[in-house]
């Protein structure tokens, strides 16, 4: 969360197919439609998948659907050259009054992802893009831990 602001952020990182379509076991269900319904934001998941799969390694933008200040879905479609699981970061910016329900949904999505890949010291409230998206920035700048340089990533706002 960001201080006294009226919005909070959540995120998960996992294979794009689990985030977009759910885990492939019978007891699993796709949680993305519930999140979209809660935020009243619709996303063409086929377009997100196609864009991600057609993005060259070492590239990828952050796509923001909805009102970036208080009510949006965020897909970080960067394709890490060392990633063999095709992971993306997915998150939301939402009103603080949605916190409890959104936490439940993101915790459930995290548990689905955890069945396939394990993360340690994971926090679903910490994002790299959160403040940049809320501010409406066009570019995210962050420290690249591999080569110790400043990296940039384009943020695209889609209505």
pLDDT tens digits for range 99-120: 999 999 999 888 888 877 776 5
Number of domains present in the structure of the chain = 1
Of the CA atoms within 13 Å of residue 149, those in its CB half-sphere come to: 3
pTM (2 d.p.): 0.86
Residue 137 lies in a domain: yes
| pLDDT < 50: residue spans in the chain | 1-4
Q: What is the pLDDT of residues 47-60, one digit of tens each?
A: 999 999 999 998 99
Query: What pLDDT, on a 0 to 100 scale, did the predictor assign at position 141?
Result: 84
**What would the two tokens of residue 3 be?**
């201080």
CA-based nearest residue to 89, from 16, 30, 24: 16
Residue 1 lies in a domain: no
State the residue range of the domain holding 23.
7-157
**What would the two tokens of residue 91 be?**
């998150």
Query: What pLDDT, on a 0 to 100 scale, did the predictor assign at position 105?
Result: 94
Residue 20 lies in a domain: yes
Residue 2 lies in a domain: no
| Cα Dmax for the chain | 44
Residue 151 lies in a domain: yes
Q: What is the DSSP string of 39-84?
A: HT----HHHHHHHHHTSPTT---EEEEEETTTEEEEEE----TT-S
Rounded distance between C-alpha atoms, residue 34 and residue 38, angstroms: 6
């Amino acid at each position: 969360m960001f201080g006294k602001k009226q919005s909070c952020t959540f995120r998960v990182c996992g294979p794009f197919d689990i985030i977009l379509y759910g885990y492939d076991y019978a007891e699993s269900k796709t949680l993305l439609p519930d999140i979209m319904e809660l935020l009243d934001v619709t996303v063409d998941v086929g377009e997100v998948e196609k864009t991600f799969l057609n993005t060259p390694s070492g590239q990828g933008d952050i796509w923001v659907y909805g009102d970036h200040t208080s009510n949006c879905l965020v897909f970080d479609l960067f394709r890490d050259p060392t990633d063999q699981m095709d992971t993306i970061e997915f998150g939301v910016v939402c009103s603080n009054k949605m916190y409890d329900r959104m936490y439940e949904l993101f915790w459930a999505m995290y548990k689905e992802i955890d069945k396939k890949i394990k993360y340690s010291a994971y926090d679903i409230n910490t994002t790299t893009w959160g403040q940049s998206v809320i501010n409406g920035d066009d570019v995210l700048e962050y420290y690249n831990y591999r080569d110790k340089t400043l990296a940039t990533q384009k943020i695209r706002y889609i209505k």
